[in-house]
Amino acid sequence: MVALGLALGLVMPLILWVRRSAGVDFSFASYIDNSMVLQKEPAGAVIWGYGIAGATVTVTVGQAQETVMKKVTRVKADSNTWMVVLDPMKPGGPFEVMAEQTIGRMNFTLRVHDVLFGDVWLCSGQSNMEMTVSQIFNATREMSDTAAYQSVRILSVSLVQAEQELEDLAGLDLPWSKPTSENLGHGNFQYTSAVCWLFGRYLYDTLQYPLGLVSSSWGGTPIEAWSSQRSLKACGISKQGFIPPDSLGGPSKHSVLWNAMIHPLRTMALKGMIWYQGESNTNYNMDLYNCTFPALIEDWRQAFHHGSQGQTERFFPFGFVQLSSYLSNTTSGDGFPQIRWHQTADLGFAPNVRMPNTFMAVAMDLGDRNSPFGSIHPRDKQTVAYRLHLGARAVAYGEKHLTFQGPLPEKMEHLVDKGLLNLTYYQKIHVQRQDNKIFEISCCSDHQCTWLPAPMNASTTWTLALDVCPCHGTLGALRYAWTTWPCEYKQCPLYHPSSTLPAPPFVAFMTHQTPGHHSKDAR
């Protein structure tokens, strides 16, 4: 035993040394691999890797012995890296991508097989994005539903943090792979992300061409960990910040996940991103989330556009999940309504002027009291992904006339004599249930404002009348669903009639005062 151990100890370094001298100096970036999906037209996909300074690198894309295109570049002396931008390709495949390094008479070749062209989406966030297909409702069936989706390929980035921006990933939990039930449910909160997978699957049903899904998420992490120093600075947050890890336990040091898990991907040409995060900011910089989130979107857009040599669109589509519900035992409120609101830059809907080309899946009606992973981890990820994919179809793919938002309020009218507040929506409304508490009015007198319930009274196709009789002062504001758990599963009061999309939560301040009820600023 001892002798064998010694022998192995001697042989291993030797093998490594031989491999290195025979061309390990020449390699693809960590995520250029068999079975990958590269971004299709109108973008050109980016291929890069490492080599010997000064060497010539020829990248060839081929199909059935035929060369489709050839690109030549040189290995840069300062970084020992090379990069080519391919010509825009129609969706399809499979292709073989070959890279050949020539220096003097030495000639090394690398190949990856089964490469498809399609749309690449990056999925990021905390544990609700990390939750795997094995953890959701109908898991067994969802995990085995892969036969029709072999052109939807998945990759999962390892959990790594770094003090400096990394040029390449430090590791992959799952290299580019075809979906199998094992890859979809490797273990709780491991890989593959259920929201990411289902989002891709729904999109594939419509698009019918290859999709690449890149998951890079870590549970229990605040947005500051995913933000570059530039975007934190834009919100007046110092780069040194650190909060003690909460019970969910992800890293919380500023920028460390941006550095290790996002920055290395910026060279990849992408179609868009989806994001499910915010729970960890209900107790950290909550009031700044209306800055940190729009700033992260803007910063990632800049970084990915530049990193991909302009191939990823400057304002690429960015979708996000508005926080769901959970059973909180704090009486003082726990920030969920505030984060939901801040996720929309305090406008209540997406896209909006502060967040162009974004889309949102409302999830507050998908609470799951009995989730074995805690009610903070609801198991219905199908509906989340379905709502998100509607947003993608409308915003990212330009599908006209597709309803992707729940009803949004347009105007309020205080009918003083009747004791009613009429709320008119932009879209038709379906009142699924009467609720006497979910609408609240801020009732003000003597410079004191109190939130009082405004029971739902009557409705028409567009307008909802709320009973505001109990308020004997001035109406300052109106809010909807401003609690951590606004309703039971799919039982919120207001939905769009045909799409079953819930009306999102909002707070609105009265600006047009009715005669006899003046108040300059009720806030």
Ligand X SMILES: *[C@@H]1O[C@H](CO)[C@@H](O)[C@H](O)[C@H]1NC(C)=O
- Interface with ligand X (CB under 6 A): 100, 102, 107, 137-138, 287, 290-291, 329-330, 346, 380, 382, 413, 415, 419-420, 422, 455, 457-460, 463, 465, 467, 469
In whole angstroms, how close is the CB of 393 to ligand X at the nearest point? 19
In whole angstroms, how close is the CB of 54 to ligand X at the nearest point? 15
Q: Look-up: residue for tokens 């401003």?
A: 482
Which of residues 291 and 394 has its CB atom nearest to ligand X in the complex? 291
CA distance 395 to 358: 7
In whole angstroms, how close is the CB of 438 to ligand X at the nearest point? 14
Which of residues 36 and 323 has its CB atom nearest to ligand X in the complex? 323
Alpha-carbon torsion angle 129, 135, 137, 141, nearest 10: 110
In whole angstroms, how close is the CB of 331 to ligand X at the nearest point? 8
439-445 and 474-480: which strand pairing? Answer: antiparallel
Residue 82: C-alpha distances to residues 51, 52, 79, 107, 168 (Å):
7, 9, 9, 16, 13
CB atoms within 10 A of CB 146: 18
Residue nearest to ligand X according to CB distances in the complex: 107
Sign of the Cα pseudo-torsion (166, 169, 171, 173, in order): positive
CA distance 255 to 303: 14
In whole angstroms, how close is the CB of 463 to ligand X at the nearest point? 5
In whole angstroms, how close is the CB of 261 to ligand X at the nearest point? 27
In whole angstroms, how close is the CB of 107 to ligand X at the nearest point? 4
In whole angstroms, how close is the CB of 156 to ligand X at the nearest point? 23
In whole angstroms, how close is the CB of 464 to ligand X at the nearest point? 7
In sequence order, which ranges of 308-430 are alpha helices (DSSP H)?
336-342, 381-391
Which of residues 208 and 332 has its CB atom nearest to ligand X in the complex? 332
CB 458 within 8 A of CB 440: no
Which of residues 454 and 481 has its CB atom nearest to ligand X in the complex? 454
**Which two three-digit tokens encode residue 216?**
């890079």
Which of residues 158 and 285 has its CB atom nearest to ligand X in the complex? 285
CA distance 184 to 384: 17
In whole angstroms, how close is the CB of 465 to ligand X at the nearest point? 4
Q: Look-up: residue for tokens 């929309």?
A: 344
- Angle ∠(217,173,132) on CA atoms, nearest 5: 55
In whole angstroms, how close is the CB of 458 to ligand X at the nearest point? 4
Q: Which of 461, 276, 477 lies closest to 366 in space, CA to CA?
A: 276
DSSP characters for 339-362?
A: HHHHTTTTSSSSSBTTBTTEEEE-
Which of residues 119 and 334 has its CB atom nearest to ligand X in the complex? 334
CA distance 285 to 289: 7
In whole angstroms, how close is the CB of 170 to ligand X at the nearest point? 32
Which of residues 291 and 471 has its CB atom nearest to ligand X in the complex? 291
Which of residues 109 and 164 has its CB atom nearest to ligand X in the complex? 109
Report the half-sphere exposure of 472 (CA within 13 A, side-chain side).
1
CA distance 329 to 484: 10
Alpha-carbon torsion angle 510, 511, 516, 518, nearest 10: 90
- Helix, strand and coil in the chain, % to nearest 5: 25, 30, 45
Which of residues 36 and 133 has its CB atom nearest to ligand X in the complex? 133
Which of residues 90 and 233 has its CB atom nearest to ligand X in the complex? 233
CA distance 393 to 42: 17
**Long-range contacts, stretch 343-351, CB < 8 angstroms, 24+ apart:** 343/278, 343/289, 343/293, 344/504, 345/290, 345/293, 345/294, 346/290, 348/408, 348/504, 348/505, 348/506, 348/507, 349/405, 349/408, 349/504, 350/320, 350/391, 351/395
In whole angstroms, how close is the CB of 234 to ligand X at the nearest point? 11
Which of residues 137 and 397 has its CB atom nearest to ligand X in the complex? 137
Residues 6+ apart with CB under 8 A from 471: 441, 443, 452
Which of residues 231 and 308 has its CB atom nearest to ligand X in the complex? 231
CB 126 within 8 A of CB 218: yes
Which of residues 204 and 425 has its CB atom nearest to ligand X in the complex? 425
